[in-house]
Amino acid sequence: MGKAESFEQVLKESRVFKPSKEFSALAHVKSLAQYKKMYNESIKSPDKFWAKIAKELHWFKPWKKVSDWKEPFAKWFVGGQTNICYNCVDRHLPTWRRNKAAIVWEGEPGDSRVLTYNDLHREVCIFANTLKKLGLKKGDRVAVYMGMVPELAIAILACARIGVVHSVVFGGFSANALVERIHDCQAKAVITCDGGWRRGKIVELKAAVDEAVVKCPTIENVVVVQRTRNNVRMEPGRDHWYHELAASVDANCPAEPLDSEQGHFILYTSGSTGKPKGIYHTVGGYMVGTYLTSKLVFDLKDEDIYFCTADIGWVTGHSYIVYGPMANGATCVMYEGAPNHPEPDRFWRIIEKYRVTILYTAPTAIRAFIKWGEQWPQKHDLSSLRLLGSVGEPINPEAWIWYNNVIGKKKCPIVDTWWQTETGSIMISPLPGATPTKPGSATLPLPGILPECVNKETNKKMPPGEKGLLVVRKPWPSMLRGIWGDNERYKKVYWSTVKHSYFTGDGAHCDKDGYFWITGRVDDVIIVSGHNLGTAEVESALVSHPKVAESAVIGVPDEMTGQAVTAFVTLKDGNQPIESLKDELRAHVAKEIGALAKPKQIRFTASLPKTRSGKIMRRLLRDIASGKETVGDTTTLEDYSILAKLRTDDE
């Protein structure tokens, strides 16, 4: 089911699921009354609230001021010194958690590893000393382009330990996408693997890095973790096998005391213009936000086995595989490969094998599980599960109910979480022991967060049931500190749409109970399987093909991925709109950006519908792509015949 349909359905959704008394009795937040008290205190006295949370963590030096807000720039825990790696690893070593599993890893071929917090400390120190040996120091940027192996978590924790800013690039992105990100953050080194496993095949990670770094003069070193043992080219002086470097350093590397506002990571996300945005996060506020939300939303307990199915290449993996859960001393399951390899029950096998108690996955995955059939989860004992989570996009009510009935056996609360790369941590979500849930709703804001649905023109809160723009009215610790190297773009994208408010880019409405129903993007961004793709980015890739004159890209509802990319393409004179060209263009987009961006549908057209000022009318293209009659004002169209032509064109 797509978003267009799901919005109509959530308006009518009336089912409410209350937490069980047994769950609530043991939860961190046990009732709606307790949540409301905590929430009201956090909004009334935010500095007092956040200071109390921050004091649960380790600081080398206390802060002088909790927050400093000069719109649109925030500082949190000003003057304080901390280290997020210390809080995720070292903080647990004097306790019994020293011998507790930190990472339980399963490779796609079936190999596995367990690292205790003590093991993790040793591995992180060795990796950090390796980076220091290569001359990397506080403030330098490093690109990380790896598969889902323990060394990915170890590498980013090692960067955090010594104050090196990491920029993880999803291993499914192309060499060209890697080049763009390396250029933007001026990275000095790349950390990669020889390859990774995906559906039984090797993903050639090192080969993509080789293709990229020849265009990146800032790269001095490439560190290669051995995983698949495929043949790779090693450039003498530039490329280093990690295991060889690691053999020559010791396992003692004290965590660097870092200013709370020291750079922590840059993570690129698509925007409505062609160039990806480098979302910039700093150490202290991000640490506090991910720590608190992991604890409350997942109701984390020491005995939990927690499985987040995201890739660390996305923000979900940063915040809710590594930093948030580990700051809480959790045991985190990491899986390398595809959910349907060798068969569609891989996740259920993992849950049964490791007795997973918390599962955090995406609506796209849930819809795939539904399609594959109930027989796969029914083969396995999933009785260890006590809590289910959803992330990445709004979950349609049907998928929510299936998740609740088939996977949760009607006994596991579901936390449907809304947040973004930019917010750093979860903003709107049920608290599983406190919040009655409604399928399809992210429910209520977390403590310290003040979102609203507003009218763009008046800046006023929308009445219950009426859709508006989703904004956040007050700063929060884990918020982005800007777009890397581009403060003007940061102001324009996030702070110019609605006065004195952070604009999320999403639409939403609130019901009479104050529950938030997120309806998806209102700008030119498509969410495919929970991941943002800028229409301009895909259009740029298409137009870079020698046969393409012009393109317009839209998102259309898709049963599996939430939205799918549809491209309208105008060809240069002399080129024929043949079927094989569609495959050629799809492959071209995959090479330029990555397979995630491949258009599901390509439609050739003589010209595109535009306003007199030359702006492409994407609203009309959406209507055409979904087979609807065109509605609304078309008086600004330059040429009505284009619409008629597009409607009658065959695929």
DSSP for 500-539? TSEEEEEEEEE-TT--EEEEEESSSEEEETTEEEEHHHHH
Tell me which of 378, 409, 440 is where a domain ends. 440
Q: How far apart are CA 178 and CA 261, in angstroms?
A: 26
Which residues have C-beta within 8 Å of that of residue 4, sequence separation ≥ 6?
557, 626
Instruction: Kindly state whether residues 433 and 551 are assigned to the same domain.
Output: no
Nearest to 117 by CA among 102, 95, 96: 102
Q: Over the range 637-646, which residues count as b (16 or more CB within 10 Å of their CB) and which as e?
A: beeeebbeeb
pLDDT for the residue 449: 98
pLDDT in tens, 131-186: 999 999 999 999 999 999 999 999 999 999 999 999 999 998 999 999 999 999 99
Tell me which of 412, 440, 468 is where a domain ends. 440
Instruction: Kindly state whether residues 529 and 414 are assigned to the same domain.
Output: no
pLDDT for the residue 562: 86
Cα 355 to Cα 16, 344, 394: the distances in Å are 29, 19, 28
Instruction: Kindly state whether residues 30 and 169 are assigned to the same domain.
Output: yes
DSSP state of 164: P
Low-confidence ranges of the chain (pLDDT < 70): 1-13, 271-274, 611-615, 628-651
Query: Quick one: tokens of 623?
Result: 């209507």
Which residue range(s) make up the domain with 249? 15-440
Please state, for a pLDDT cut of 90, what percent of the chain lies above it: 76
Residue 9 within a domain: no
DSSP-H helix ranges across 277-360: 283-297, 315-317, 324-327, 346-354
The sign of the torsion formed by the CA atoms of 325, 330, 335, 338 equals negative
Q: Note the pTM of the prediction, 2 decimals.
A: 0.86
Tell me which of 408, 440, 472 is where a domain ends. 440
Residue 455 within a domain: no
Which residues have C-beta within 8 Å of that of residue 183, sequence separation ≥ 6?
216, 218
Q: How far apart are CA 193 and CA 186, in angstroms?
A: 21
Q: How many C-beta atoms lie closer than 10 Å to residue 405's C-beta?
A: 11
pLDDT for the residue 2: 37
Please state, for a pLDDT cut of 70, what percent of the chain lies above it: 93
Domain count, the chain: 2
pLDDT for the residue 570: 85
Residue 107 within a domain: yes
pLDDT for the residue 643: 67
pLDDT for the residue 651: 37
Q: Which helix (H) or strand (E) holds 25?
A: helix 21-26
pLDDT for the residue 13: 65
Rg (CA), the chain: 24
